[in-house]
C-alpha cells in the first residue's frame, strides 16, 4: 500500500472514530492439500463474511501446497506487499518469526472477550502457535494421525473388532495374526502400514517418540532431541515391525498408504485424519479408527495449518483480519470446514453445534482424533525447519532401509541439526 493511501486510510479511520465502519481490502492466501471441495468451501465462507461486512473486501488466493504458499507469502512480504491473512503450516512459526513478517495475534486480541476466545481453542493445537510467550497463530486446518483398521480383517483373524491395538506390543502381536500369505509364501495382506518415507513419515515418527515419553523439538525452536533413548526406541519399533513380518520391508510411501488400505493390501494403517473422507467414501468394508498405538502410553503429533496475520499492514487492516479469522473459526463455520475436509474442528464449541453432532453420529471415527488430542504434542519444528527436518527424514529412511542402525542414524542427524542450529543459541 502506498504511503498516501495509508495516510488517507488513517484519516478516514480518525473521522469515523466513533464507529468501526472503516473499510479494508484484505488479501488472504490459503493452501490446499488435496481435494477440490475444500477450495469451494473456503470461497463460500469468505463470500459470506463479505456479505456480513460489506465495507470490506477479501481476495482469497489459492497459493498451492503449504510450502508454495509460505514461499509466496514470504516473497510478497519481502517485496513490501504482504498478504493480510494467510493459512500456513503451524510448524513454520519459527521461519515466519525469524523473517519478522507476522504480527502476534495476542497483541491484537487483547480485550477480555478476545482472550476468552483465544482460550477456547484446544490446548493441543495451541502448543505450536506460541513463541516467546506470544500467540502468533490461530488453529484452523489441524489434523493428527490415527490408526485406521479394517474390521472385517480383524474378524477373520479372530480379533475383537472394537479393540484395535493400543500398544506397540499389541500392534506386533495382532499384526502377526492379521498378516496373510498366499501359496507361494508372498504376503497378500500386511498387518499394518506406517509410512516411512518423506515428510509425512517424519510427522508420524514424531508421534511415536511422544508416545514413548520423548519430544523431538522444543518451544524455543533451537533445541532438538533426536538421539534420546525415547527417539531411538521409537525408530527401533518401526524397524521391528518389518523384521517381525508385520509390515512390508523397506521404505513405505505416504501417498500409496490409503490406497493400500482400501484395496485390502493392509489390515490397518497409520495416517492423517485428513483421509477420513477418502476412506469413508471409498472403503467397501466396515472400518474403525483408534489412537496411534503407543510405546509407554498414547501419544500423537498435531499437524496442519494455522491462521497468521502479517505485519506491514495498517492497524485497521489488522483489526479487520482478526475479525475475519474469528468468523472463519466460529462454531458454525469451523463445523462446515471440518465436515467438508476431515480436519479436526479446533474448538470445543464447534463440537456442540447440531450439524457437528449429527456428523459425529454418522461418522463416529471423527471423534477419536479429537479425543486423542489430550495426548498430543507439537509437531517437529525448529528454525531452518526444511533443512533440519531433512536430517530427520534421512535418519528414518536410512534405518528402515537397513543402511544404518537407528542409534547411528539419529546420532548423525542430531550432529547435523546442532551444526545448523548452533548459531541461534
| Residues 257-296: x where in contact with another protein by CB under 8 A, - otherwise, as a string | --xx--x-xx------------------------------
Q: What track of x and - describes contact with another protein for positions 29 through 68 (by CB under 8 A)?
A: --------------------------------------x-
DSSP state of 373: G
Q: For residues 182 and 348, is the Cβ–Cβ distance under 8 A?
A: no
- Find the largest Cα–Cα distance for the chain: 83
Query: How far apart, in whole angstroms, are the C-alpha atoms of residue 264 and residue 285?
Result: 9
Stretch of 42-50, 94-102, 108-116, 230-238 lying at the interface with another protein (CB under 8 A) = 94-102
- Residue in 101, 172, 325, 368 binding another protein, rule: CB under 8 A: 101
> Minimal distance in Å, beta carbon 30 to another protein?
19
From residue 144, give the alpha-carbon distance in Å to each of 4, 36, 95, 270.
46, 21, 22, 10
Query: Does the protein bind another protein through residue 95 (CB under 8 A)?
Result: yes
According to the binding rule CB under 8 A, does residue 134 interact with another protein? no
Using the rule CB under 8 A, which residue among 198, 213, 245, 312 binds another protein?
Answer: 198
- x/- mask, another protein, residues 381-420, rule CB under 8 A, reads ---x-xx--x--xx--xx-xx-x-----------------
In this complex, which beta carbon is closest to another protein, that of residue 206 or of residue 299?
A: 206
Q: What CA–CA distance (Å, rounded) separates 141 from 33?
A: 10
The least CB distance from residue 223 to another protein, in Å, is 18
Site string (222-261) toward another protein, x via CB under 8 A: --------------------------xxxxxx-xx--xx-
Distance between CA atoms of residues 270 and 265, nearest Å: 14
CB of 277 to another protein, least distance (A): 20
Residue with cell 512390508: 248
H helices of 244-384, in order, are 257-262, 276-282, 315-328, 331-341, 348-351, 354-362, 365-372
259: helix, strand or coil: helix
Cα 157 to Cα 148: distance, rounded to the nearest angstrom: 16
Q: Please tell me whether residue 99 binds another protein under the rule CB under 8 A.
A: yes
H/E element holding 30?
A: strand 25-30
**Count of residues in contact with another protein, rule CB under 8 A:** 45
Secondary element (H or E) of residue 357:
helix 354-362
| Nearer to another protein among residue 82 and residue 294 (C-beta) | 82
Which of 100, 107, 286, 352 is in the footprint of another protein by CB under 8 A?
100
Rule CB under 8 A: say whether 297 interacts with another protein: no
Pairing state between β 102-103 and 303-310: antiparallel
Q: How far is the CB of 197 from another protein (least distance, A)?
A: 5
Residue whose C-alpha is closest to residue 47's, from 238, 309, 333: 333
Residue 421 · residue 384 · CB < 8 Å: yes
Comparing CB distances to another protein, the nearer of 97 and 360 is 97
Whichever of 262 and 339 has its CB closer to another protein, that residue is: 262
**Kind plus residue range of the DSSP H or E element containing 40:** helix 36-52
Interactions with another protein, residue window 156-175 (CB under 8 A): none
Torsions phi, psi of 181, nearest 5?
-115, 155
- Minimum CB–partner distance for residue 157 and another protein (Å): 18
Neighbours of 3 (CB within 10 A): 7
Positive or negative CA dihedral for 214, 218, 221, 225? negative
Query: Residues interacting with another protein, by CB under 8 A?
Result: 67, 71, 74, 95, 97-101, 182-188, 190, 196-198, 248-253, 255-256, 259-260, 263, 265-266, 384, 386-387, 390, 393-394, 397-398, 400-401, 403, 423
Amino acid at each position: 500500500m502506498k504511503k498516501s493511501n495509508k495516510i488517507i486510510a488513517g484519516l478516514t479511520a480518525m473521522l469515523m472514530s466513533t464507529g468501526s465502519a472503516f473499510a479494508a481490502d484484505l488479501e488472504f492466501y490459503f493452501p490446499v492439500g488435496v481435494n477440490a471441495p475444500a477450495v469451494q468451501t473456503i470461497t463460500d465462507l469468505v463470500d459470506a463474511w463479505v456479505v456480513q461486512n460489506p465495507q470490506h473486501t477479501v481476495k482469497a488466493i489459492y497459493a498451492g501446497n503449504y510450502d508454495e504458499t509460505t514461499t509466496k507469502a514470504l516473497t510478497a512480504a519481502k517485496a513490501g506487499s504482504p498478504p493480510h491473512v494467510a493459512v500456513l503450516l503451524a510448524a513454520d512459526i519459527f521461519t515466519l518469526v525469524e523473517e519478522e513478517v507476522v504480527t502476534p495475534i495476542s497483541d491484537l486480541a487483547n480485550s477480555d472477550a478476545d482472550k476468552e476466545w483465544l482460550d477456547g481453542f484446544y490446548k493441543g493445537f495451541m502448543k505450536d502457535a506460541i513463541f516467546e510467550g506470544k500467540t502468533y497463530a490461530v488453529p484452523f486446518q489441524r489434523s493428527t494421525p490415527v490408526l485406521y483398521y479394517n474390521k472385517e480383517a480383524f474378524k477373520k483373524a479372530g480379533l475383537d473388532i472394537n479393540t484395535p491395538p493400543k500398544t506397540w506390543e499389541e500392534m506386533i502381536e495382532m499384526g502377526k495374526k492379521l498378516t496373510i500369505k498366499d501359496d507361494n509364501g508372498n504376503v497378500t495382506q500386511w498387518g499394518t502400514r506406517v509410512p516411512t518415507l518423506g515428510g509425512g513419515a517424519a510427522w508420524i515418527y514424531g508421534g511415536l517418540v511422544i508416545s514413548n515419553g520423548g519430544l523431538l523439538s522444543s518451544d524455543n525452536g533451537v533445541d532438538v532431541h533426536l538421539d534420546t533413548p525415547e527417539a531411538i526406541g521409537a525408530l527401533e519399533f518401526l524397524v521391528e515391525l518389518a523384521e517381525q513380518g508385520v509390515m512390508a520391508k523397506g521404505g513405505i510411501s505416504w501417498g500409496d498408504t490409503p490406497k493400500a488400505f482400501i484395496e485390502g493390501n493392509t489390515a490397518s494403517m497409520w495416517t492423517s485424519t485428513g483421509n477420513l473422507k477418502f476412506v469413508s467414501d471409498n472403503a467397501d468394508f466396515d472400518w474403525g479408527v483408534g489412537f496411534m498405538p503407543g510405546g509407554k502410553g498414547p501419544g500423537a503429533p498435531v499437524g496442519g495449518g494455522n491462521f497468521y496475520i502479517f505485519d506491514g499492514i495498517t492497524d485497521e487492516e489488522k483489526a479487520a483480519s482478526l475479525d475475519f479469522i474469528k468468523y472463519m473459526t466460529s462454531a458454525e463455520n469451523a463445523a462446515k470446514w471440518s465436515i467438508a475436509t476431515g480436519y479436526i474442528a479446533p474448538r470445543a464449541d464447534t463440537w456442540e453445534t447440531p450439524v457437528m453432532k449429527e456428523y459425529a453420529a454418522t461418522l463416529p471415527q471423527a471423534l477419536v482424533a479429537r479425543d486423542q488430542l489430550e495426548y498430543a504434542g507439537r509437531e517437529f519444528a525448529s528454525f531452518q525447519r526444511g533443512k533440519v527436518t531433512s536430517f530427520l527424514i534421512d535418519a528414518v529412511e536410512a534405518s528402515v532401509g537397513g543402511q544404518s542402525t537407528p542409534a547411528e542414524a539419529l546420532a548423525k542427524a542430531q550432529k547435523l541439526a546442532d551444526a545448523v542450529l548452533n548459531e541461534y543459541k
